Structure 1
Amino acid sequence: MSETKFKDIARQIEQRIDTGVYQPNAKLPPHRELAAELETTPATISKAYKLLAEINRVESFVGRGTFVVGESQLNQAIQPADNDTEFNFSILQPYVSQNLASLRTAYQKASMTFTPELLAYTDHSGHLPHRKAGAIWAQRYGLKSASTNNVLLTNGAQHALSLLIETLTQPGDVIAVEALTYPGILAIASLAGRQVIGVDMDDDGLIPSALEDVLNSHKPKLVIAIPSHQNPTGITMPMQRRQAIAIIIENSSAYLVEDDIYGFLNEDTLPAICHWLPEKGIHISGLSKAISPAMRCGFVVAPDHLLPVLNAHIRANIWLASPLNFIVAEQLINSGEAFSMAEAQRDIAKQRQAIASKILGAMISESDGYHVWVTLPAHWQQERFVMEAKQRDLIVTSGSYFSAGDSSPNCVRLSLMSIKNNDALTQGLQALKALLESHEVSLAPF
């Protein structure tokens, strides 16, 4: 092979990117397919892709392929509303109006308790009363081992995920995730240079045998799972599946990161998977989904032997999570009001799930969380549907943004909680139903 051939191939690919043949975020052809087209070898294509990755024109993911660098997929998956006429089904958050008055009162009350000590630096990730409140929150929703000594405070669950990936893995390491997972995990892994491999799922979540296969073949350093009201599928792992996953992790070299931010939505408390993994499980919970996205209060419960290095990384990056929000969180948790707020959000979610079920019926997954997973009719392709919905002021999220593998089911995710009221939700869902059933579209076929 000529020493310059792969560079010539790279220039051809780059020209296709520049001229729009390969669009931003588009998946490039597999090595063998492009090699056949350009009359070269897969090894040459691999070297060309690697060269383009070094200059940030493409990025590659284990099990997913190579993509043109473009706008963050997280930005596309979660879109702020452009105007008041839109029905934004893309933002997965609590119904913020529900807690507005209580939060105003709570922040005003908290301001009267500010002391020099609480507003100063501390030796740990946060002040002791705030870590104690985090332990109470985690205990309430399934992790009885949480205590003041093993809780770390972060600026929300997203910060916690980033902290754990940066601390417990190195560039090039493999992270195992659910085959369909939260795009924020994929975004963090991509920015950090970690490789992601998807683990197959069934109606109970991660498939134990599939997880074993991935652990044996890819040797991931971390396994990240969302056990309750999984994003995007809505699946909640039953206790037996949680125990099975714990046994497999225990017998591997990987740590489990349990992203349990939706555990409060369970009608009956389920034990966290980390309950069975005292030395190998790291548990994440927080208040952003239960109370307000503005409350960047994340709680990480980690094994004792990991606490020093995690604390060191927190200090090196942010020193400590801002105490202001945690002063409010402590008061709300200790008074019990935080749990009442979470319960109210669960009730609203049930009401909205009932509305969605009545309108969309068999097209949606059975769920009782904040969102539904919609299987598109055969005549719709997910990206085309998303674009056509946008034309009608309906903002939905393509299933492709959640895929940790080469392909994704022909689905979209709908958040039910960011719509301003039930009447607007009904109107938006009816418009979506009409679009789902329609064969007439305004966009040209892809």
Structure 2
Amino acid sequence: MSDIKFRQIAETIEARINTGVYPANTKLPPHRVLADELETTPTTVSKAYKLLAEKNKVESFIGRGTFVCGDSELETVIQAPEDDADYNFSILQPCLKHNVLPLQAAFQKTYATLPSELLGYIEHSGHLAHRQAGMKWAAEFGLSVSDPEQILLASGAQNALEILIQTYTKPGDCIAVEAFTYPGMLSIANLLGRRIVEVPMDDKGMCPIALKQTILSDKPKVVVIVPSHQNPTGVTMPKARREAIAKVIRAGDIWLLEDDIYGFLNETIIPAISNYIPEKSFHITSLSKAISPALRCAFIKAPKSEVRRVGACIRTSIWLASPLNFAVATQLINSGEAFAMANKQKQLATQRQTFATKQFGFLVCSSQPTSYHVWIQLPEHWRQEHFVMEAKNQQLLVSSGGYFSQQSDKSNHIRLSLMAIDDEQRFQQGIVLLADLIKGGQGSHFLF
């Protein structure tokens, strides 16, 4: 029994590490303190720490204690399936099987007549035709833009965010984000040495009054907002809330980074926040969620006054995003195929949301009818880190709510991506298994 006990304790500690209860590089509790909490012995905790050290999860130093190794949370929140039997509800991406054939056709058509100028360096941040295509894509989903010179190209939305944060903040500066935010944003801040302040949200998104107070008290240089199908809560800001947020930003000494990569999923077009404050905002969109993450095509709409500054940062960091990928993206956008692919994904998301809603009707959930994901509040008999571990043991990969905040103890949620599983029958099987697991309680995996 003691052998089983220390392994169970090791799994609990690992879950706490993965969900941010014990952040990277922090010191773990002394053996006796943790033993008292878990109602075991210091010797058993010592064995658990040793097992975790063998797995490179922790590192022990004589006289100093045991510390969490500095692994990236992105490796745990976005989990690659370990085998074909896994049900992957952790990756937020389109259902790729529907996009394979049109993508193959676009690559073949583009590369069959590849012009030589796409193979070398260019002076500006992307070819004019590619920036015009980006303008067309963003305008279709609510952005007001008429000058392609304001469109800059980046290697995905993550790269776009990093470029803008490097350009408009310096180490030690504060960045305001939504109370729950995408782990990639937290990783960027950690890597670049920026401080995160989390702004409260309600069912309409970031609260304007709270943002105003944050600007006064913490003086953030930028605020990052996902206005549509927010990751992870699924909240979409209505037009009135967007106007109210814009009013606060207009009055404050702060830049808006509007990460609108899910805008194509909105049931009706909602104006971008950037439309109301074009001189103080950067709008980001991409094709990763609508078509494929592999394209790595993102479009930044910058104020006219800032185009040269952002362009200089792009050239310093990556010189230019791959023209080959943008040539394919441009072909898809100009032919209309990109919009058809996006609409197909939205239709499938609607279908899967309907099924998930029926299965999880006994839970408190947050999502939109066309969202890629569901934000689920777990019942009291489950703790999020325990549920994630138990689900993984049953080959169900989900994302813990602890990944989406620096204050992991304030959440008892999981985020489910509904789109990564290609086969419809397997998707439905996985959802039913998850619903049954939530109803069933903690089971026998955690005995203390």
Q: Does 1:301 align with 2:296?
A: no
Worse overlay, 310-319 or 281-290: 310-319
* Structure 1 SS opposite 2:217: helix
Cα drift, residue 392 of structure 1: 0.2
- In structure 2, the residue matched to 1:372 is 374
Q: Does 1:395 align with 2:397?
A: yes
Counterpart-to-counterpart distance in 2, 1:91 and 1:169: 30
Matches within 5 A, 1:92-103: 92-103=92-103
TM-score computed with the length of structure 2 as normaliser:
0.85
- In structure 1, the residue matched to 2:327 is 327
* Structure 1 SS opposite 2:153: strand
Matches within 5 A, 1:285-300: 285-300=285-300
- In structure 2, the residue matched to 1:419 is 421
Q: 1:162 to 1:221 in 2, by over 3 A?
A: same
Cα deviations by residue, 1:176-224 (Å, 9 ceiling, x for unpaired): 0000011000001001100000000000000111111111100000000
Q: Which runs of 5+ in 1 are unaligned?
A: 1-19, 38-56, 59-66
Cα deviations by residue, 1:109-168 (Å, 9 ceiling, x for unpaired): 000221111222111111110011001111111111253110000001010011111111
- In structure 2, the residue matched to 1:126 is 126
Counterpart-to-counterpart distance in 2, 1:136 and 1:172: 37
* Structure 2 SS opposite 1:264: helix
- In structure 2, the residue matched to 1:439 is 441
Residue identity opposite 1:419 in structure 2: I
**Contact 1:256 / 1:282 at 8 angstroms: preserved in 2?**
yes
Q: 1:201 to 1:26 in 2, by over 3 A?
A: closer
Count of residue correspondences: 398
Counterpart-to-counterpart distance in 2, 1:359 and 1:273: 35
- In structure 1, the residue matched to 2:280 is 280
* Structure 2 SS opposite 1:196: strand
Counterpart-to-counterpart distance in 2, 1:212 and 1:386: 36
- In structure 1, the residue matched to 2:211 is 211
Residue identity opposite 1:374 in structure 2: I
Cα drift, residue 23 of structure 1: 5.5
**Contact 2:229 / 2:367 at 8 angstroms: preserved in 1?**
no
Cα drift, residue 73 of structure 1: 1.0
- In structure 2, the residue matched to 1:385 is 387
Counterpart-to-counterpart distance in 1, 2:90 and 2:170: 32
**Contact 2:163 / 2:313 at 8 angstroms: preserved in 1?**
yes
- In structure 1, the residue matched to 2:4 is none
Seq. identity, %? 50
Cα deviations by residue, 1:50-105 (Å, 9 ceiling, x for unpaired): xxxxxxx99xxxxxxxx944311111111111100000100000000001011101
* Structure 1 SS opposite 2:119: coil
- In structure 2, the residue matched to 1:27 is 22
Counterpart-to-counterpart distance in 1, 2:268 and 2:146: 19
Matches within 5 A, 1:218-237: 218-237=218-237
Worse overlay, 229-238 or 116-125: 116-125
**Contact 1:285 / 1:298 at 8 angstroms: preserved in 2?**
yes
Cα drift, residue 422 of structure 1: 1.7
Residue identity opposite 2:22 in structure 1: K
Matches within 5 A, 1:41-190: 68-190=68-190
Cα drift, residue 442 of structure 1: 3.0
Counterpart-to-counterpart distance in 1, 2:69 and 2:284: 30
Residue identity opposite 2:311 in structure 1: N
**Contact 1:234 / 1:372 at 8 angstroms: preserved in 2?**
yes
Counterpart-to-counterpart distance in 2, 1:405 and 1:385: 18
Q: 1:124 to 1:406 in 2, by over 3 A?
A: same
Counterpart-to-counterpart distance in 1, 2:135 and 2:329: 12
Residue identity opposite 1:297 in structure 2: C
Q: Which runs of 5+ in 2 are unaligned?
A: 1-12, 34-57, 60-66
Counterpart-to-counterpart distance in 1, 2:17 and 2:428: 35
Q: Aligned-residue CA RMSD in angstroms?
A: 2.3
**Contact 1:151 / 1:301 at 8 angstroms: preserved in 2?**
yes
Q: Does 1:429 align with 2:416?
A: no
Counterpart-to-counterpart distance in 2, 1:108 and 1:410: 47
Q: Where does structure 1 differ by over 6 angstroms across 4 or more consecutive aligned residues?
A: none
* Structure 1 SS opposite 2:338: helix
**Contact 2:376 / 2:413 at 8 angstroms: preserved in 1?**
yes
Cα deviations by residue, 1:379-422 (Å, 9 ceiling, x for unpaired): 00000000000000000000000014463321000000001222
Cα drift, residue 337 of structure 1: 1.0
* Structure 1 SS opposite 2:294: coil
Residue identity opposite 2:100 in structure 1: L
Counterpart-to-counterpart distance in 1, 2:89 and 2:240: 33
Counterpart-to-counterpart distance in 2, 1:155 and 1:335: 22
**Contact 2:177 / 2:198 at 8 angstroms: preserved in 1?**
yes
TM-score computed with the length of structure 1 as normaliser:
0.85
Q: 1:445 to 1:259 in 2, by over 3 A?
A: farther
Counterpart-to-counterpart distance in 2, 1:278 and 1:445: 56
